[in-house]
Amino acid sequence: MTATGRKYRILLISPNPLFRDGLLAWYGPQWAGRAEVVGVFSRLDEGLAALADTAPDMVILDYDDDECRRADLLQRFIQEERQAMKVVLLSLQQPDHVIVYDRRRLSASKLETWLDAPWKNFPNGQENL
């Protein structure tokens, strides 16, 4: 659930049906009531095309697709004007870690405070972007 009380919106992109359906099977019950899967795609280009319509808060991308160009997604992520979109990059070939991009927006005053000690956590009141 987001701060505004609406359900958290998740978009899932994976070329592997076992992984895709498996994630939904495992997390679906845990997310029930608080989050909703607003789109499931096997191809990156289809998932990117659906970004505007689905307005996800988080994109989970399995980048094992040979045709998947992460640069495309990251470009879209950087350009995206909407607030609050996290991107989780994962691969079946990398069992050890996932990469999470969590973009944030700070007001100018908060930025100044944060830059005084950027190794500390973000100040309270920051907005996800």
Partner 1 sequence: MTIRLLLADDHLLFRRGLRGLLEDMPETEVVGEAENGHEAVLLAQRLQPDCILLDIHMPVLDGCGAVALLRQGGYRGGIIILTVSQADEDLVCAIRAGADAYLLKNVTPEDLLKTIQAVLSEQAVLSPEMMRTAFNALRQNAAQGWGGLSEREWQILRAIQRGQTTAEIAAALFISTNTVKTHVRHIFEKLGVSDRRTAVTKAERLGILPPKG
Q: 17 or 125, CB closer to partner 1?
A: 17
Instruction: Compute the distance between CA of residue 15 and CA of residue 90 in angstroms, rounded to an integer.
Output: 12
Q: What is the CA radius of gyration of the chain?
A: 16
| Shortest spacing between CB 54 and partner 1, in angstroms | 21
Task: Point out which span in 20-28, 78-86, 102-110, 120-128 binds partner 1 (CB under 8 A).
Answer: 20-28
Comparison of 49 and 98: residue with beta carbon closer to partner 1: 98
Tokens of 38: 């607003």
- Other CB atoms within 10 A of residue 61 CB: 24
Contact track, partner 1, 25-64, x by CB under 8 A: xxxx-----------------------------------x
Locate the DSSP E strands across 4-78: 8-13, 35-41, 58-62
Of 42 and 126, which has the nearer Cβ to partner 1? Answer: 42
CA distance 81 to 85: 10
From candidates 3, 4, 5, 17, binder to partner 1 by CB under 8 A: 17
Q: Which residues are registered as beta bridge partners of 90?
A: 62
Chain residues that interact with partner 1, rule: CB under 8 A: 15-19, 21-28, 64, 90, 92-93, 95, 98
